[in-house]
Amino acid sequence: MFELFATGDTLPEAYHNALLALHERHDVTEVPDYNTRQYEASMTFVAENPLAEERISRLFVGDPRSLEQYRQEMLDGILDFEVDRGNWEYTYHRRMEGQFDWILRELRRNPDSRRAIISVRDDEDLKSGSPACLQSVQYLIRQGALHCKVLFRSNDAAQAAFMNAFALVCLQARFAEQLGVAVGSYTHRANSFHVYERNWNLFEGYVRRLKSGDEVTYPFLGGWDELMDDAKPEIAQSVAAQREK
């Protein structure tokens, strides 16, 4: 199994370099649970300045509304009620929220701590057909900045990884603001970084675009931030309607 490493100054640059690395070196492996095949490698990608512009990749399946909704799901738990209803087994927010205050207390107690870890994996995953992909999130304050290191057991490179990383960087930034420190690097580790066979053409299109020299990013500030803000009323209305069903 290939062990890959990619870096970049911005989040999109790191993600794009990870896509290129996966394209260059991967195994084709079977996925019996889903009756398909995948390109697969283990991947670590690092964004040294995850809030730097341009912050939005053009190479993900989504738009400002879907990205804003996912950010709210991860940080604020806007769909946690689906777990309470028994419709979903979990949300990342529901798994993590009870540990948020402890993370802040621990890093205020000892800014040099190595203990500030959110554990996402749960005993329920042992008997689930859809166990959580995200396993843990660790925060470390070093040289006055909050660094974030996440571990996924499994991560869809073409359809999920950028949205996952964007939302987790937003959570990192929220904690950094509450702690009064700068935002440091973001490290994204996926033991299985993969592209399912149904998305191989999509993935090839991403790689062609990266190699073509075409524009592959959007600005967040003065661009997508405004579009995401504009989407908030529609998201709130949609969530309220879903809650009332």
The β-bridge partners of 119 are 136
Residue 103 pLDDT: 98
**Structural contact between residues 206 and 19, judged by C-beta atoms closer than 8 angstroms:** yes
State the total domains in the chain. Answer: 1
pLDDT value at residue 183: 98
Which band of pLDDT confidence, cut at 50, 70 and 90, is reported for residue 130? confident
Give me 113's structure tokens.
Answer: 């701590």
Range of the domain at 106: 3-244
Query: Which amino acid is it at 161?
Result: A
Token digits for 16? 């794009």
Q: What is the pLDDT of residue 29?
A: 98
- State the Cα–Cα distance between residues 220 and 8, nearest whole angstrom: 17
Cα 51 from chain centroid (whole Å): 14
pLDDT for the residue numbered 166: 98
Taking alpha carbons only, the member of 161, 173, 193 closest to residue 50 is 173
- For 173-229, write each residue's pLDDT tens digit: 999 999 999 999 999 999 999 999 999 999 999 999 999 999 999 999 999 999 999
Q: Distance between alpha carbon 171 and the CA centroid of its chain, in Å?
A: 10
Q: Which two tokens stand for residue 199?
A: 């998305």
SS3 at position 132: coil
What average pLDDT does the segment 46-57 reach?
Answer: 98
pTM of full prediction above 0.95: yes
- Rounded Cα–Cα distance for residues 3 and 74 (Å): 28
pLDDT at residue 35 tops 90: yes
Q: Is the peptide bond before 54 cis (omega within 30 degrees of 0)?
A: yes
Q: Rounded distance, CA 225 to CA 100, Å?
A: 25
- Residues with Cβ < 8 Å from 134, sequence gap 6 or more? 92, 120, 150, 151, 152, 164
Identify the CATH number of the domain in which residue 42 sits.
Answer: 3.30.572.10
Q: How far apart are CA 53 and CA 30, in angstroms?
A: 38
Q: What is the pLDDT of residue 173?
A: 98
Q: Distance between alpha carbon 232 and the CA centroid of its chain, in Å?
A: 20
Q: Is the dihedral of CA 3, 53, 134, 105 positive or negative?
A: positive
Is the pLDDT at 123 greater than 90, yes or no?
no
